[in-house]
Amino acid sequence: MKHLYNYSSKVLLAICLLWVGILTVNAQEKASSKVVTGLTARAITDSLMPGWNLGNTFDANSKSGLAAETSWGAPRTTREMIHAVKAAGFRSIRIPVSWATHVDFTDELENEIDADWLARVKEVVGWAIDEDLYVIINIHHDNNKQFFYPSELYEEQSLTYVKEIWMQVADAFAEFDQRLIFEALNEPRLVGTSKEWWFDPVNPGVVCLDAINIINESNKICVDETRANGKGYNNERMIMCPGYAAAVCGCMTNYYKLPDDPMVAVSVHAYVPNALCLAGNQKTFSEKDDADIRDNVMIPIYEKFGANGIPVVIGEASCSNKLNLEARVQWVQSYYGYAQKYGMPVILWDNHEVGKVAGGENHGFLNRNDLTWTWPEFIDAIMEITGTGIENVVADNVKMFYIGNTLTLMSDTEISRCRIYNISGAVLEDFEVNSDNFSKELNLPNGAYLVTIETINGVSAKKLLVY
């Protein structure tokens, strides 16, 4: 299978620009000078697919101080790692962050974040923005009875914690534009109880209902504190809001309430089917699994939210290595295919477990030590489904570049037709070309698009357009 994550597209683009006499500038300088603003939450979610998680890194909570970053076995994050993610074709990166082991009780706050930790997270976020990636940061492994625990007994303490963390984070990250997204909480739940991961969404019971209400209020606090900051881009920052445990049942219950704000999105995690994707013994993928993904995850969530104009982000999903690569690729084709169809971007969970014996938590994809992809076929499948990183100009030497608002197409033979799709698969532009050198002015909002080009010889070319 062809590997899609290489530098050939960048080289080709540079050559094309030189051919037309346009001075190129350093890609990082271009990204840093770009400002993304004025987008709707829907437009932002359309730009996230596919995404990747920097797992087991800033979310590690077994140590305090800067040593926490590497305490779960991942190496210190570098700019080169972030570039490798971008070069593979990913459009967004989720950076889970645990704050609880980096806070102190002070005269000002009960939970004042350590300045060095805050600065380090900010540095890595900046690298991702420099690569023109969308970035998600959150409150991750702080779900315990000392900081956040969604029960009536710990309600006041929990809401104070959420308020103070987001008050400080909103202020520290205010000047990052709309490419930075906040996620209020990771998987808020009643840890250590029989209802930790699942409850009856119709009849949750008193204890779970209390938890759901506290999670709803926590989501609202994140939104309120971000907007109240008033600095930079916080008034238009998108905020992802999970239900109980970020589970499907957590957002499908009628007790889940999103904050009344136009820039919010539903945050859900779905490792489905669980026995294949996580700790179970299942190693094959079946039609039943395909139906499970379609009928129990994608369609119901879409019908409740997406079809009603409410964006959804699948912030974590993956299929653990059990020495079953064929089944895992089949899972990608099903899971990402439906997610693409229903407009829900998927952020791949990667915990850097690249050397473990196959099992339920072997979600290591990028080897961050040598910047190679452990399961390239898996990554290829994602890029093929989502139309990202595709370079299948198999003949006729079709070239495309987009400067300002002008799309230019060049080919060794006549181009007959061009279509432009958004990341959800909807056709935005469809026009006849009938030329081997063609330019057209477009008025596309910032985002990612798939461009298909057909020549009179029947050659089809697919290119990713990011603007």
Q: Give the active site residue among 69, 131, 183, 187.
A: 187
Sequence-distant (6+) residues with CB within 8 A of 67 are none
Give the pairing type, strands 346-348 and 51-53. parallel
Task: Answer yes or no: are the C-beta atoms of 390 and 384 closer than 8 Å.
Answer: yes
Phi, psi for 422 (deg, rounded to 5): -80, 175
Q: Pick the closest to residue 196 from 138, 153, 244, 242 (CA basis).
A: 244
Q: Give the active site residue among 83, 102, 140, 363.
A: 140
The verdict on whether 140 is a catalytic residue reads yes
Sequence-distant (6+) residues with CB within 8 A of 343 are 45, 46, 302, 306, 311, 312, 423, 424
Q: What is the DSSP string of 367-414?
A: ETTTTEESSHHHHHHHHHHHT-S-----STT-EEEEETTEEEEEEEEE
Task: Answer yes or no: are the C-beta atoms of 379 and 395 closer than 8 Å.
Answer: no
The verdict on whether 269 is a catalytic residue reads no
The verdict on whether 236 is a catalytic residue reads no
Q: Give me 324's structure tokens.
A: 């079953």
Q: What is the DSSP string of 11-46?
A: HHHHHHHHHTT-----HHHHHHH----S--HHHHHT
Q: Give the active site residue among 69, 131, 164, 316.
A: 316
d(CA 134, CA 359): 30
CA angle 330, 307, 253 (to 5 degrees): 85
3-state secondary structure of 208: helix
Q: What is the DSSP string of 68-125?
A: GGGTTSPPPP-HHHHHHHHHHT--EEEE----GGGEE--SS-SSEEPHHHHHHHHHHH
User: Catalytic residue numbers?
Assistant: 140, 187, 316
